[in-house]
Structure 1
Amino acid sequence: MPKIALVTTRVARPTDEDLAPLEQALAAQGAQVSIVDWDDSAIDWSGFDLSVLRSCWDYTDRIVEFLAWAGRISGQTCLLNPFEVVRWNTDKHYLAELAKKDVAIVPSAFVEPGDDAASALHAFLQDHPDCAEIVIKPAIGAGSRDTQRHGRGRTDAATAHIARLLDAGRSVLLQPYLDRVDEAGETALIHFDGQFSHAIRKGPLLRPDEGPTTELYATEQIDPREASADELELAARVLAALPFANLPAYARVDLIRADDGTPVLLELELTEPSLFFDHAAGSAQRFATCLLAHCRSEGQG
């Protein structure tokens, strides 16, 4: 009987809607499942055949500690996704790397600690003269925390937002706000071992000039969605561009539509994404099958 840890954190347990259906699907296929907190020092990680990152949603506030933990337990258990994937994906500088491989992304510029906030904003607005609004977010962040949408003319507020993140030693990502998201929302395409499983629609999250959420993550409006051919094509291109020998066990590719209607990558979630099992019948069972295949592969290795 394979022993599998589904890894979360105490503050996320009440709202992680994926945990229960995945636990049930794994148990139905013969696994012994434990739901554990990543920062629980009493856990013996060597007792698990597989440790699956699911809702470690406080990691952005504890990134050094989290990455040190993930690297350490990788020597004790099979971590999914692997540490090298987690280390790469927790910093949104990966967008620049994917853009160099001809992946269509939301136009992105990074501001680094030590840079001047006002100068960086001015340069970005000059580079994007047609964008009426911009999005400012930390390069290491999740759940829309510390993320805000600013009108082009509100440079004082936008500069202060950038400066606040820089002063905290955080890199900053600047992107134009693409208006089509207001009507079409985002499409999240979920893949298991590189195979498309299902898609959902996220309604628009950011309101004009509304401050960042103070919760663990911003409230989302989720509905099932049929992925279009061009979305599936871009998602496949994104996964093919990853700098790893093997495709990740789970991946969520978040896309929105550019002004010309073509899909572009907003974010690639390989660390702890919600997978929205409740919106796609059979998806928890598909993921459970994927995870048990990794258990068998690890055992044979």
Structure 2
Amino acid sequence: MTEHHHQPTRGEPRVAIVTCAELSDLDPDDRLLLAPLTGRGVPVTVAVWDDPAVDWAAYDLVVIRSPWDYALRRDEFVAWADTVPRLVNPADVVRWNTDKRYLGELSAAGVPTVPTGWVLPGESWEPPAPHGEYVVKPAVSAGSQDTGRYDLADPGHRELAAAHVRRLSLAGRVAMVQPYLTAVDTAGETALLYLAGPDGLRFSHAIRKGPMLTGPDVGVDGLYKAEDISARTATPDQLAVAERTLAAVPVGSERLLYARVDLIPGPDGSPVLVELELTEPSLFLGYADGAPDRLADAILTHLHHPH
């Protein structure tokens, strides 16, 4: 644990920021939050989620930020979340959102979503008809780990895609298979960031992520792949899909501290959901003026008006 300034006196709210051992002093983007919280009289402790010495009940609010090593220990992570009294986002949100099969629920609720097939451990899988590019990744993942892009017109790629699914299956992991949305190569991916306000989630800012998947999965060193990020102005169509997505969250978006809605143009150019990140998303605080202050204010809102 890292104490970022003085021990609190009686009456001061205590906030823990949750990370993993590899980022024990937080991701650089998350460190931008510390000064705004300190300036608002909120003592902050940075704590590692699986550190048995942490007394989570001692905090008025526990904020999940960068526990990015949980993907291979998801059951343990969800069980941990269940033990934390004042967690944001809450434990039932963590349970629902850490398995990407939530995309099926959102699609069924009418959210425009990238078509996704699921391969359960032990199921056989043959690549689709040999045309177009597809993405294979695990249903529980973080930081684009174990994710590959395959051109199914290429026999070698077809074999690699099948091997990727088998590798996930043998590890007891659910695989997801999606068509590669080629617009990401030019338009990129748009992430829309929402932060809590007194009346629920409010749009804060948006960023553009450049294309990351260049070919088959060859492994990644570290917790996440480097990203090409820049500020972006969200369009009315993107905002409309994001609002529709958040309205369809079955665990209730009004209880959220933050949300990130990741969109890519579909074949007809209209935005489709590729991921809804409610557990530990990068919030890209450094790409929008005032974003660290808005997150600090969102934390104060949850401190004063627990959901």
- TM-score, normalised via structure 1 length: 0.92
Q: For 1:250 and 1:15, locate their aligned partners in 2 and report how far apart those are by CA, in whole Å.
A: 17
Distance 1:15 1:179 in 2: 33
Question: Does the 8 Å contact 2:160/2:216 carry over to 1?
Answer: no
**The structure with more helix, counted as a fraction of residues:** 1
Q: Please identify, of 143-152 and 206-215, the stretch whose mean Cα deviation from structure 2 is larger.
A: 206-215
Matched, 1:46 2:57: yes
Alpha-carbon distance in 1 for matches of 2:137, 2:296:
33
* Partner deviation per Cα, 1:247-282 (whole Å, 9 max, x = no partner): 211000000011210000010110001101110110
Please name the residue that 1:211 is paired with: 218
- Answer yes or no: is the 8 Å Cα contact 2:24–2:46 preserved in 1: no
Please say if residues 135 and 150 of structure 2, whose CA atoms lie closer than 8 Å, have aligned partners that are also in contact.
yes
How far apart, in 2, do the equivalents of 1:57 and 1:19 lie? Answer: 13
RMSD: 1.4
- 1:249 and 2:257 equivalent? yes
Give, in whole Å, the separation in 1 of the partners of 2:252 and 2:243: 16
Decide which of 5, 27, 39 is 2:38's aligned counterpart. Answer: 27
AA at the equivalent of 2:110: D
Secondary structure class of the residue paired with 2:94: helix
In structure 1, stretches of 5+ residues that fail to align are none
Q: Following the alignment from structure 2 to structure 1, what is the Cα–Cα distance between the partners of residues 143 and 217? A: 15
After superposing the two structures, state which structure 1 stretch, 19-28 or 176-185, moved more. Answer: 19-28
In 2, distance between residues paired with 1:18 and 1:175?
A: 30
The one-letter code sitting in structure 2 at the alignment partner of 1:101 is A
Q: Say yes or no: does 1:239 pair with 2:242.
A: no
Partner of 2:86: 78
Q: Percent identity?
A: 47
CA distance in 2, matches of 1:157, 1:107: 21
5+ residue gaps, structure 2, are 1-11
Are 1:222 and 2:225 an aligned pair?
Answer: no
Per-residue CA deviation, residues 272-293 of structure 1 (Å, 9 max, x unaligned), is 0110111011011011111111
- Confirm or deny that 1:150 pairs with 2:150: yes
The one-letter code of the counterpart of 2:223 is L
Partner Cα separation in structure 2 for residue 205 and residue 15 of structure 1: 23
Q: Is the 8 A contact 1:145 1:215 kept in 2?
A: no
Tell me whether 1:89 sits opposite 2:92 in the alignment. Answer: no
Q: Does 1:165 align with 2:168?
A: yes
Question: Are 2:75 and 1:58 aligned?
Answer: no
Q: Is the 8 A contact 2:26 2:66 kept in 1?
A: no
Q: 1:230 to 1:275 in 2, by over 3 A?
A: same
Once residues 45 and 287 of structure 2 are traced to their aligned partners in structure 1, the CA distance between those partners, rounded to angstroms, is: 24
Please say if residues 148 and 212 of structure 1, whose CA atoms lie closer than 8 Å, have aligned partners that are also in contact.
no
Tell me which of 185, 189, 192 is aligned to 2:188: 185
After the TM superposition, list the runs of 4 or more consecutive aligned residues in structure 1 that deviate by more than 6 angstroms: none
Contact 1:136 1:148 in 2 (8 A): yes
Q: Counterpart amino acid of 2:162? A: T
Normalised to the residue count of structure 2, the TM-score between the two structures is: 0.91
Change in Cα spacing, 1:92 to 1:210, as seen in structure 2 (3 Å) is closer
